[in-house]
Amino acid sequence: MNNKTNQMQTDFLVIGSGIAGLTFALKVANHFPDKKITVITKTNSDETNTKYAQGGIAGVIDETNDSFEKHIEDTLIAGDGLCNKEIVEIVVKEGPARIKEIINYGARFDKNEKGDFALGKEGGHSEFRILHHKDVTGKEMERALLQAVTNTKNINIINHCFVVDIITQHHLGYLVTKSTVDITCYGVYVLNLNTNLIEKIESKITLLATGGCGQAYRATTNPKIATGDGIAMVYRAKGRIENMEFIQFHPTALYEPGISPSFLITEAVRGDGGILRNKKGEAFMEKYDSRKDLAPRDIVARAIDNEMKFEGTEHVFLDCTHLPKEKFVNHFPNIYQKCLSIGIDVAKSYIPVAPAAHYSCGGVKTNAFAQTSIKNLYACGECASTGLHGANRLASNSLLEAMVFAHRAFENIVENASEIFERKNIIIIPDWNTKGTIEPREMILITQSFKELQQIMSDYVGIVRTDVRLARAMKRLDLLFEETEQLYRSTKVSPQLCELRNLITTGYLIVKGADFRKESRGLHYNTDHPCKSDIIQNTIL
């Protein structure tokens, strides 16, 4: 029997309360004070990847030594030939204005004795251009944005509200395929975790800001919420996804067996002089790249992977013993305390580190105004693929990208406001169908499949790939997909089941993208295809 499904209406629906979602919500709320903005988030509003960002946000602030040209060039080099140059220029040139806005919202960035911003440096950057708040930059930015949102009357945040699917013509009984023109988003079905009921939210405009998918891997710096939900939802709705093979592994996550997510040791530590060493104590990066420890992430992560495989170890070391202790503690108080809590005094001992899945460069394909291939659906932040990162993201460009595209989505909406708000939706969204479903009896089926998925992705689709490994991964994912779809059809939905389902889809997209790309480029390294091809294109999935 179908239960009546509650329905809510909103002008703007924002899915996600990280930097992308909150920046957008504030902009539309201030510009359209009589419109209703609803932000939904699947756990607590501050539990986001954003909160864990450490190193900072890149931007051309020091106009004496730095320039837009240099930041553009660094981004293009890191992206290994696949960045969209026009998008890179947009982000770099519009970035400083967005940084000023978040400062106006109250975000505090560290300053030096002269009162100028204390700019840091990370891998792939030719200049000092990273603004930071100690080693907890994301926490500070999230705090400032949430505070501003709380002070804004027409924004309503609903926590513990899990989006299951976006509603399109498919739910109205029409056949929707990838070639359907004008696939349109009318809102979403959510599982309200406060009532445990499925509800419908109808919206004029929906912004997807659901973040990344690091949880597809066993070792990841991403919190539990990063399960690729938005990417999987858009794929199910037949929207465009691209470049999923480019999963960025951060070179230096703290090696702590059994602890998940992995604690990050920010690249800024290497920016301040930290040196990677192998088991024998050798500084090995000079063997791999002339930029040594500050080469782009794909190169450093592969070098570490190689050293670990060669030595048969599960980690290498980051040596900070030569750095002035007071300066270290002042810049990285959180890292210093974390290391101390597990018995490592960074002034005396090396820090054990290993690469961990960190960032998804691909995602929902968007244009220069954050529009997806689905009408009325915008996407920005980590779930989107804007063309900025290409085959490998330059450090600290992610927070910047999220703010730039939140703004551009907003501008596009302002331009089209009369059309958007005069439009009358005369659709009737059907209730959620629970017919034939029962309460899940064995959670172990979900938790075990979750572990299997992470194992498959880590063992076969990690830093170094081969054709055979990818084929194996696909076979195993097929089986997991079949089993999970069967479970989804027969049991009541739960966040755990939805997340598993979304991660399997995301895993499939990563493998499919990796299989299409018969070359090694940026973060995608396949020993069966070690060279770059002449044809440079995105993998549209």
Residue pair 271/129 in contact by the 8 Å Cβ criterion: no
- Which CB, 386 or 396, lies closer to ligand FAD? 396
- Spatial separation of the C-alpha atoms in residues 531 and 519, rounded to whole Å: 6
- Spatial separation of the C-alpha atoms in residues 203 and 190, rounded to whole Å: 13
Asked if 222 interacts with ligand FAD (CB under 6 A), we say yes
Asked if 398 interacts with ligand FAD (CB under 6 A), we say yes
CB atoms within 10 A of CB 464: 15
Asked if 386 interacts with ligand FAD (CB under 6 A), we say no
CB of 304 to ligand FAD, least distance (A): 17
Find the part of the chain contacting ligand FAD (CB under 6 A) among 1-9, 203-211, 329-337, 416-424. Answer: 203-211
Q: Pick from 75, 137, 169, 520: which binds ligand FAD (CB under 6 A)?
A: 137
Q: Taking CB within 5 to 8 Å according to partner kind, which of ligand FAD, ligand SIN, none is near residue 402?
A: ligand FAD
Residues 380-439 that bind ligand SIN (CB under 6 A): 395-396, 398
Asked if 54 interacts with ligand SIN (CB under 6 A), we say yes
| Phi and psi, residue 111, nearest 5° | -120, 160
Contacts of 444 (CB under 8 A, 6+ apart): none
Asked if 49 interacts with ligand FAD (CB under 6 A), we say yes
Residue type, 62: D
Instruction: Tell me the three state secondary structure of residue 202.
Output: strand
The candidate with the shortest Cα–Cα distance to 298, out of 535, 80, 514, is 80
User: What CA–CA distances, in Å, run from 526 to 53, 143, 250, 521?
Assistant: 29, 41, 18, 9
DSSP state of 263: P
Asked if 410 interacts with ligand FAD (CB under 6 A), we say no
Residue pair 257/275 in contact by the 8 Å Cβ criterion: no
Q: Taking CB within 5 to 8 Å according to partner kind, which of ligand SIN, ligand FAD, none is near residue 300?
A: none
- CB burial string 316-325: b at 16+ within 10 A, e below: bbbbbeebee
Q: Pick from 29, 57, 316, 511: which binds ligand FAD (CB under 6 A)?
A: 57
Residues 12-31 that bind ligand FAD (CB under 6 A): 15-21
Asked if 539 interacts with ligand SIN (CB under 6 A), we say no
DSSP state of 371: B
Please state whether the peptide bond connecting residue 352 to the residue before it is cis, i.e. omega within 30 degrees of 0. no
Q: Taking CB within 5 to 8 Å according to partner kind, which of ligand SIN, ligand FAD, none is near residue 198?
A: none
To the query of whether residue 291 is one of the catalytic residues in this protein, the response is no
CB of 381 to ligand FAD, least distance (A): 2
Q: Pick from 142, 267, 307, 319: which binds ligand SIN (CB under 6 A)?
A: 267
Asked if 55 interacts with ligand SIN (CB under 6 A), we say yes
Q: Pick from 266, 278, 371, 386: which binds ligand SIN (CB under 6 A)?
A: 266
Residue type, 162: F
Quick one: how far is CA 300 from the chain centroid? 20
Residue pair 171/137 in contact by the 8 Å Cβ criterion: no
Residues near ligand SIN, by CB under 6 A:
54-55, 266-268, 359, 395-396, 398
Residues near ligand FAD, by CB under 6 A:
15-21, 40-43, 48-50, 52-57, 137-138, 162-163, 209-212, 221-222, 225, 229, 264, 359, 381-383, 396-399, 402
Active site residues: 297
